[in-house]
Structure 1
Amino acid sequence: MELHGYAATVVLLRDGADGLETLLLQRPSRRGSFAGAWVFPGGLVDPDDHAPQPDGADPVADPLASGGSADAATDAATAAAVRRAGVRETEEETGLLLDPAALVPLSCWIPPAEVPRRYRTWFFLAPAPEGRVRLSPDEHVDSAWLAPAEALDRHRRAELELVTPTWVTLHHLAAFGSAEEALRAATAAAPETFISRQHPGDAPGTAMVIWQDDAAYPGAPGTAPAARHRLVMDGRNWTYERTPA
């Protein structure tokens, strides 16, 4: 199914008293996409994001235009527009101003075919700037700086709701002890592409989201029969399974 455009998500990182923290925003419960969910700042790329900047500050070489798989290929002009969208949306939603060059590409997410309007969404890590979060009331109703593991645990306890890309990103970040460590790792790695597919769970009452290197993924030639790359969802108990490469 056709993709309708691009979007940007910015994962702001800082060091709290107990280690790495990231900013999550709660969507209104009765309107818009991801109603009631806690998400990272971000949104769609607007036409104005494609306009060349007068100071010519766009990076000449962008990992978005060279990293990741062919499924996530993004030309240089679009890559710059996605960065600008991430900066713009973050400022609109939180009042925090970022340098586009400080955004480190982490991953690219393509939703399942069942989603009515599908966007290629780039996730970036960025160091949180100084300043107080000021929410846009039309966009979000609450915010919190949380350790990734704490956010995952609150989701499990039904104290907050996460969607798949947010959950998987937090699961990834839980392995890092500081913002610098997470940013350094993302800078050294190619962005990963997640082309999501919905799939029935193996056990009654469960569901899964699977990705390209899972044995159950449609049209995955050469994948070992036991290969796993999936998120298993059993109520609020979610488990990320991935076979080492």
Structure 2
Amino acid sequence: MGKYKSKIKRILFKLSGEALQGEKEYGIDVNFLQDLAKKLVYLSKYKGLQIIIVIGGGNIFRGVSGASNGLDRSQADYMGMLATIMNGIALGDAIETNGNEVRIMSALDIPKVAETFVRRRALKHLEKGRIVISVAGSGNPYYTTDSAAVLRALELDCDFMVKGTKVDGIYDKDPEKFDNAKKYENITLSDALGKGLKIMDQSAIALAKDEKLPIFVCKINDIEKILSKNIKGTYVDID
């Protein structure tokens, strides 16, 4: 990962809710969750990375899907935010079980289960070696967790953002459906935006492009190799 900076200090990981399903069709795969937590603790405690995680809620509820089935879009999006909180609590518990302090910070005020997200407080937690899990997106309907992840990465001065997916990078089409799918080893944010590649939603890519935030897309199972030169993935570079 020396492509980005000689000294990497702080990374934001964007994890989809669906990733927590593991082999299940719905909800949370506890075995997968424990394995993921061990990898994050390894990066934090033994590699010295400051880690922020933004997590989705699609394994429990997806706002856009709810709206398409007749729910009011704003209400559906708030329901999706609550799903991210549930995922954040589960992941936080798994990380603490594996020996690393965690602070769950929410864009919605829910003081009994999470701190309200405050930038300076989040930075202090990171400096103390705690993993920060940011939940409830940006706290606003109509904004995806992709956009919230870019926003948090910029707010917290991250060196870059990592998006963990089910495949080892970005392809021109779904590699699980098409054998001739072509993988991009490198692509610029402008090209990703122009080609309409589904790395993230378009507004999230546009914000990353405007603010020159580099992104790395890799398989979620490989995230413990993020500092290795041998990790497979796609670099989405600033222009």
TM-score range, shorter chain: under 0.3
Q: Tell me the TM-score normalised to structure 1 length.
A: 0.27
Q: Tell me the TM-score normalised to structure 2 length.
A: 0.28
Normalized per residue, the structure richer in helix is: 2
